[in-house]
Chains A and B, each alone.
Chain A
Amino acid sequence: DVKVTQSSRYLVKRTGEKVFLECVQDMDHENMFWYRQDPGLGLRLIYFSYDVKMKEKGDIPEGYSVSREKKERFSLILESASTNQTSMYLCASSSYRGPSYNEQFFGPGTRLTVL
């Protein structure tokens, strides 16, 4: 089974702090994604990556950056957390290969609260 794990289920940070959200997948997937989920807005894509050291902006990249130094790990960074970044963050991965071609597999989510 594909497994996507995220470093924390719940996180509380203060305004201005630098925040790291980590995501790891164990199925050798090429693609990895970071979304934020807000009530009434669904999931919105922040950043995605097609390969190691590759990154592409999604629909709402402002205030975020990402890092993908290894194929299995994709990190989301909030350089200076703000209260409007309080949200649920979901990581996902997918592959171009195999029977689950381009199906996205999701992690459990990190609920981030910025005070």
Chain B
Amino acid sequence: AQRVTQPEKLLSVFKGAPVELKCNYSYSGSPELFWYVQYSRQRLQLLLRHISRESIKGFTADLNKGETSFHLKKPFAQEEDSAMYYCALTRGAGNTGKLIFGQGTTLQVKP
């Protein structure tokens, strides 16, 4: 079964502290992994995807196939990073574009 697990509902850090939002997945094939973000009163939007290997707004995520993880990291959190973060996957083969989301983690960055 395809599943995405985000073990933390809430992660609270101080500004300037490192951040790691955890994501583990269960999928037998070769999925594509994404992080979507929803800022307060805004729509869900793509933050980054593993195949592009980019750093967006200082965030990075590395796909670890051995540990089936795709943790989101940022070395120094900013207050504007406060948002809801969703890890998601799509199938590799036979992809219809369907995203499977994790439960989401609320990141709260305190001043």
- A and B: interacting chains: no
Binding site for B on A (CB under 8 A): none
